[in-house]
Amino acid sequence: MFSLGVTTYVKIGLAIALLSIVFGSGWWMGYSRYLEYKKEVAVATEKQKAEVESIQKQHELVTKGIQDEYDAKLNTLRNYYKSTSVWNNNGGSTMSGISAAPKSTDVISAYNELAGSCAQTTLQLVELQKWINEQMGIE
């Protein structure tokens, strides 16, 4: 059949060994880079988690501060419109009305309720704008 010499077998063996070494070293280098990449990703992940947690705490502090301030202002507004009568001024026109008007106290309380509701809505809007501006300032 086909007969090869010993040197040919040695050369083939050395070529196979050389290819195995090249392949193995290439695989090892790639695997080492992969392990380094995994470590870098783990470090970056931990750093990002800490940063996100810090930002969330800042958001919560801002929200809590604005909520407390809003509650205090809202209570002040409610107390103001309960205790005073903004629309109760006795000086005015002496002209009579066209039709019979409801009792003065009913009108005053209705105006006070309306003014109080408007003031509360305005306060909500102002505090919401303040909250948004402060939240956008957090980085």
pTM of model > 0.85: no
Average pLDDT value over all residues in the chain: 83
Question: Is 21 contained in some domain?
Answer: yes
- The total domain count for the chain is 1
In this structure, is residue 91 part of a structural domain?
Answer: no
Q: Which amino acid is at 31?
A: Y
Question: Looking at the domain assignment, is residue 96 inside a domain?
Answer: no
17 occurs within a structural domain: yes
Question: Is 69 a member of any domain?
Answer: yes
The predicted structure's pLDDT at residue 101: 53
Residue 93 within a domain: no
In tens, the pLDDT along 3-51 reads: 778 888 899 999 999 999 999 999 999 999 999 999 999 999 999 999 9
Domain extent, residue 118, equals 6-86+101-137
Does residue 82 belong to any structural domain of this protein?
yes
Measured CA to CA, the distance from residue 4 to residue 87 in angstroms comes to 118
The answer to whether residue 70 sits within a structural domain is yes
